[in-house]
A and B are shown apart, each in its own frame.
Chain A
C-alpha cells in the first residue's frame, strides 16, 4: 500500500516538475518575442507565469488539486460511479456560456472519423429526442412513435431500431411494455414499448426541466428542456465509465477531454489586462465590460502553448483517470496535433474582439482563478 502511494507521489511530483519546466521555457520564449499590442500585456503574462512557477508546486500542487478535483470535475466530469449523481452535478453547472463548453466537450475537438465521442448521426438524433419527449405529456417515448417520427421509408426499419437501441443503452432508459390484444386499425395484437428515464434521473429533472402535474398525472417538459440536457447525460456517462476506455472511445476521448480541461485551466489563470480608455475595444458593441476581460494573447502562440499544454494535459489526465489515462497521453504526432488544435476551441467564451483575446468570465473561470488568488494572498499575508 505504502509502495503504491510512493509511486503515486513520485508520478505526481514528476508531472509537477515537468509543468514547471514548461513554464521556464514559455517565459524564456516570451522574453524574446512580443506580439501583444497592449502595453504591459506581455509583462503581465510573464509575471503571471512566474507566479505560477512559484506557487503551483507548493503543498504538492494544491492549486491544481483544488482546481481540477473541486471545480472542473464537479462542473463537467464528476468523480463518481453513480450516473445520476454525475448527471446532476453537470446539469447544475449549466449557464448559457458554460453550455458552449459542454457542447465543445462533445463535438469540439479533433478526433478520428470513427472515434469521436458523439458520432455525426447521434447529435441530430439527440435533437429529435428533445422533440420526441417534448411532444408528449408523460415524459415517455414509445417505440412506434419513434419509428414514425424518425424512420425513413427508403431504409429498412432495422436502422431506426438500432438507433433507438443505442439511445436506450446510452442514456440508460428504462422500458415497460403495453400489450394491446386488438389494435383499432387492424384488430391485431400489438406490443408497444414505452421508454423513460430511471426515477433517479426524473427526480433531478423535476422542477426546472420537467413539470410534474400531480392532479392530472402529467409530466411536461419545460422551456428549459433542450439538447444540452442530453449532452450532460452523455458527459455523465463518460465520467462514470472513465475506467472503461473502450466504452468511452479510447485514447481520443482521453486526449480530447484532458486537452479541453487544460484549456479551461489555462484560461482561468490568464491575467486580466487593463486597456487605455481610448482603446477601440471598449467601444465595440460586442464587448461587455461587466462580464468580459481582455487577456494576453501571446500564450496562444504555438511556441508558448506547446510548452505549457503538454505537461498540463498530463496533469489533468492523471487527476481525472489516474495512471490509466496518463498512459494514453503519449507524445505521439497524432496527440500533438490534437493538442495543437485545442487552442482554437471554446470560441464563444474565449473570443476575439478587434484582434484582442477576450475571456468571458463564466463561473468556472472565476472560481478557478479565485483559488489561485487566495493562495497568493495567503502566502503574501504569511
Chain B
C-alpha cells in the first residue's frame, strides 16, 4: 500500500510505455519484411508462417511476461495478415494486397507512436502533449473544472444536448454494489446506483407535477417549491430503499437539495440561483405580493448538479467513482487515438481492441490521467491488481452508443488539432 502511494509520474509512465514499446518494433519489422517480399510469394501463406518462425527465433527476451506477450502479439499480427490474404487473394491482385497490408501496418505503427509519445517523462511542453490536450478536451464535456459549482454546471449544460447520456454514464459506476451511500468520512462522494438514479428521477417528477410551496428560509417574501420526502420512498417495498432513505440528506446535498423540517425536500439557496439562471425555476407574483418560484425541471437538472458537485469536490470521490471516471477517460482517449490513426477497415484494429492489449495499456493510462495537471484525482485509489483489471471486461461490455459518438468526436478533434494544424504550419 505504501508502495502505491509513492508512485510518481516517472514510475508510472515507463510502465505504461513498456508494452507499447514492444508492439511497435514488431509491426515495424513486419512492415519492412512485407515491403521487401515479392508480392507473388504472399499467395502461399506458409511463407508467412516460416518468416514468423524465424522472427520468433531471433527474439530472445529475458522477461517471461514480455516474451510471451511479444510472441502472442506477433502471432496475432501474422494470423490477421494470413486471413486477409486468404480472403482476398482470388479477388484482388497480390500487389494491391501487399500495399494494403503495408498501409495497415503503417497506420498501426503511427497509432503506436502517438500512444508511446502521448506525453513525456518530465511533462515538458505540457500544453502541447497529446495526453494533456485530450484530457482537457474530454474534461470540458464530461467533468469540467471551475471555481464554483455554478461555473461547472453551466459548462456541463453547454454540452448536455449532445452528451448528456455520457455525462450521466460517468456517474453511474458499474461497481455501485460496492459503494456506501454514506461514508464514515462525510465528504466522500459515491457514484449513482440504479436505485439512486431512480430516486433522483422521482424527485424531478414530483417537483414538476404538483409541488408544495413554503417560505424561502433565506429570503423573506419568497416561496420555494418543496416535496414530501416520504412521497419519494412510498412506493418501495421490502425495505429495498432503506439505505437510500437513511442517506437522503447526503443524496439531497449532492443534488442541490436540502431537507426542511425533517419532511420536505427543497432546493438549497445556491442552487435556487442556478435554477433561476437556467430557466429551471420561474417566478410568479402572487396576489398577496409573495413571489413564488415554480419549478420547471428537465431530466438533467438534478443529475448535472450531482456531476458538478462531484467535479468541484473531485478530491473526495469514492474509490469506485475514481476508477470509473478514469477508465472512461482512458478508454475514450485510447479509442479516440485509434479512430484518428486507423481506417475502419484496418485489419489490426482487433489487436488494439483485444482485452489482452487493453489490460496492459488502460490501467497505467488511468493513473496518468489522475495526476494534478490532468483530472487531478486521487491516483492511489486506482486498482491495478490483475483481478481488478478484469473489471475492464465489464466496463467495455457496458458501453453505450453515446460514448461511441464521443470516441468519433475525439478522433476528429485529434485530426483537427494535431494533423491539420501541423499541415497548416
Question: Does chain B have a CB within 8 A of A120?
Answer: yes
- Interface SS of B by simple majority: helix
Question: Does chain B have a CB within 8 A of A24?
Answer: no
CB pair B237 A355 closer than 8 Å: no
Binds A, one of B128-136, B198-206, B412-420: B198-206
CB pair B87 A152 closer than 8 Å: no
Question: Does chain A have a CB within 8 A of B393?
Answer: yes
CB pair A284 B209 closer than 8 Å: no
CB pair B194 A352 closer than 8 Å: no
Question: Does chain A have a CB within 8 A of B296?
Answer: yes
CA distance A117 to B279 in the complex (A): 39
CB pair B87 A213 closer than 8 Å: yes
CB pair A216 B174 closer than 8 Å: no
Question: Does chain A have a CB within 8 A of B19?
Answer: no
Question: Does chain B have a CB within 8 A of A110?
Answer: yes
Chain B residues with a Cβ closer than 8 Å to the other chain, count? 46
CB pair B298 A127 closer than 8 Å: no
CB pair A354 B209 closer than 8 Å: no
Q: Which of chain B's residues 94-118 have a Cβ closer than 8 Å to chain A?
A: none
CB pair A135 B355 closer than 8 Å: yes
CB pair B236 A35 closer than 8 Å: no
Contacts A128-B394, A337-B234 given; does A110 touch B209 at CB 8 Å = no
Question: Does chain B have a CB within 8 A of A285?
Answer: yes
Number of inter-chain CB pairs below 8 Å: 121
CA distance A124 to B354 in the complex (A): 19
Instruction: Return the contact of A286 from the options B161, B393, B397 (Cβ within 8 A).
Output: B161
Residue of A nearest to B232 (CB): A344
Question: Does chain A have a CB within 8 A of B63?
Answer: no
Residues of A within 8 A of B279 (CB): 280, 354
Residues of B within 8 A of A111 (CB): 240
CB pair A110 B236 closer than 8 Å: yes
CB pair B86 A215 closer than 8 Å: yes
CB pair B87 A286 closer than 8 Å: no
Instruction: Return the contact of A127 from the options B164, B174, B194, B404 (Cβ within 8 A).
Output: B174
CB pair A35 B210 closer than 8 Å: yes
Question: Does chain A have a CB within 8 A of B75?
Answer: no
Residues of B within 8 A of A284 (CB): 298
CA distance A107 to B193 in the complex (A): 12
CB pair B299 A353 closer than 8 Å: yes
CB pair A96 B401 closer than 8 Å: yes
Contacts A107-B194, A355-B295 given; does A300 touch B209 at CB 8 Å = yes
Residue of A nearest to B402 (CB): A96
CB pair B238 A113 closer than 8 Å: yes
Contacts A107-B194, A149-B393 given; does A297 touch B87 at CB 8 Å = no
Question: Does chain B have a CB within 8 A of A227?
Answer: yes
CB pair A216 B299 closer than 8 Å: no
Residues of B within 8 A of A351 (CB): 298-299
From A35, A284, A354, residue with most partner B Cβ within 10 Å: A354
Q: Which of chain B's residues 290-318 have a Cβ closer than 8 Å to chain A?
A: 294-301
Instruction: Return the contact of B296 from the options A112, A218, A356 (Cβ within 8 A).
Output: A356
Residues of B within 8 A of A134 (CB): 397
Residue of B nearest to A130 (CB): B397
Question: Does chain B have a CB within 8 A of A54?
Answer: no
CB pair B393 A131 closer than 8 Å: yes
Residues of B within 8 A of A37 (CB): 296
CB pair A110 B387 closer than 8 Å: no
CA distance A129 to B398 in the complex (A): 10
Instruction: Return the contact of B240 from the options A112, A126, A347 (Cβ within 8 A).
Output: A112
From A35, A153, A340, A355, residue with most partner B Cβ within 10 Å: A355
* Nearest Cβ on chain A to B163's Cβ, whole angstroms: 11
Residues of B within 8 A of A35 (CB): 209-210
Contacts A301-B209, A352-B298 given; does A128 touch B240 at CB 8 Å = no
Write the residues of chain B forming the contact surface with A, with a CB cutoff of 8 angstroms.
83, 86-87, 160-161, 164, 174, 177, 194, 198, 201-202, 204-205, 208-210, 234-238, 240, 279-280, 294-301, 354-355, 387, 390, 393-399, 401, 404
Residue contacts A-B, CB under 8 angstroms, 7 given: A35-B209, A127-B393, A128-B393, A285-B160, A338-B235, A338-B237, A355-B296
Question: Assuming A284-B298, A340-B234, what are 10 further A-B pairs, CB within 8 angstroms?
Answer: A120-B177, A126-B397, A127-B397, A128-B397, A149-B355, A150-B393, A152-B387, A286-B164, A300-B205, A337-B237
* 5 smallest beta-carbon distances between A and B, as pairs: A355-B296, A127-B397, A341-B235, A285-B161, A130-B397
